[in-house]
């Protein structure tokens, strides 16, 4: 629930999306705006922020203790969910969506809302392209893989060179922060920074704006309450793409 009260949900289905990404479906739907997140409690392990990839699912990449514990769970197991929290992407009539890896998860609901005109989808290799079949049904998808196994060879940011960005009224971006920083530089160069929105991932304790653990420099804006979606103009002169902080508050280079 959005008031922060935890809800216990039961896992009803687990879908292997790629070799290291799975979607976990549960028995209760949540009303949310694409880009909002929930705090997911993995019993006995930790509570972590996760974007909703549908009304009743989260899509998870195995990267740490909590996500590893999630990957060991099975149908019928229970999770705690708080939220949804934060803000989402701005809807528009002609949206360009740019996703790298698991960053496609918070963008999938935006695509299904029928406002994404073009989707740029990037991954390291063909087997790691996320939601390709679902995205193809809803929008024009252009692909880039690092190894050239499908689509253009190279980073997803190179696809921007072949687009007329003036055609789009909004540009929504989610993926690894190094990739998003490259997008930020590219849209600044092309004079369309004001159209952009980026989804940030930061360490969070409360998810409700109380603890301050997810504040970004130098503005002090909280990712959980003022984000996780921020305009490119706000992020241009921030820590974005340079560093983030760990659980103790120490800077970690990106």
Could you tell me where the DSSP H helices lie in the chain?
65-71, 104-112, 132-138, 177-189, 223-226, 232-235
Flag whether 214 is marked binding.
Answer: yes
| Residue 205 CA to its chain's centroid (Å) | 18
From CA 130, how far away is CA 144, in angstroms rounded? 12
The two structure tokens encoding residue 139: 């929008």
115 is in an annotated binding site: no
**Among the listed residues 140, 115, 143, 114, the one whose alpha carbon sits nearest the alpha carbon of residue 128:** 143
Alpha carbon distance 164, 186 (integer Å)? 13
d(CA 83, CA 226): 15
Say whether 211 counts as a known binding-site residue: yes
**138 annotated as belonging to a binding site for a ligand:** no
For residue 133, the tally of other CB atoms under 10 A from its CB is 8
Annotated binding-site positions for [2Fe-2S] cluster: 206, 211, 214, 224
Annotated binding site: 206, 211, 214, 224
């Amino acid at each position: 629930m959005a008031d922060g009260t935890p809800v216990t949900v039961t896992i009803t289905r687990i879908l292997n999306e790629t070799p290291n990404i799975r979607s976990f479906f549960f028995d209760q739907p949540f009303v949310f705006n694409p880009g909002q997140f929930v705090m997911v409690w993995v019993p006995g392990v930790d509570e972590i922020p996760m974007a909703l990839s549908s009304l009743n699912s989260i899509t998870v990449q195995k990267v740490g203790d909590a996500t590893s514990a999630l990957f060991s769970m099975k149908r019928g197991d229970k999770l705690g969910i708080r939220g949804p929290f934060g803000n989402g992407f701005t809807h528009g009539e002609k949206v360009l969506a740019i996703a790298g890896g698991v960053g496609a998860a918070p963008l999938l609901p935006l695509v299904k809302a029928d406002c994404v005109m073009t989707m740029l989808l990037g991954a390291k290799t063909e087997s790691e392209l996320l939601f390709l079949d679902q995205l193809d049904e809803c929008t024009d998808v252009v692909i880039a893989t690092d190894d050239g196994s499908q689509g253009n060879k190279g980073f997803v940011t190179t696809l921007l060179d072949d687009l007329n960005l003036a055609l789009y009224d909004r540009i929504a971006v989610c993926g690894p922060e190094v990739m998003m920083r490259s997008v930020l530089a590219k849209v600044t160069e092309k004079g369309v920074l004001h159209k952009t929105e980026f989804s940030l991932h930061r360490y969070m304790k409360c998810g409700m704006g109380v603890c301050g653990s997810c504040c970004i420099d130098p503005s002090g804006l909280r990712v959980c309450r003022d984000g996780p979606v921020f305009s490119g103009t706000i992020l241009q002169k921030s820590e974005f793409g340079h560093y983030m902080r760990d659980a103790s508050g120490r800077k970690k280079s990106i």
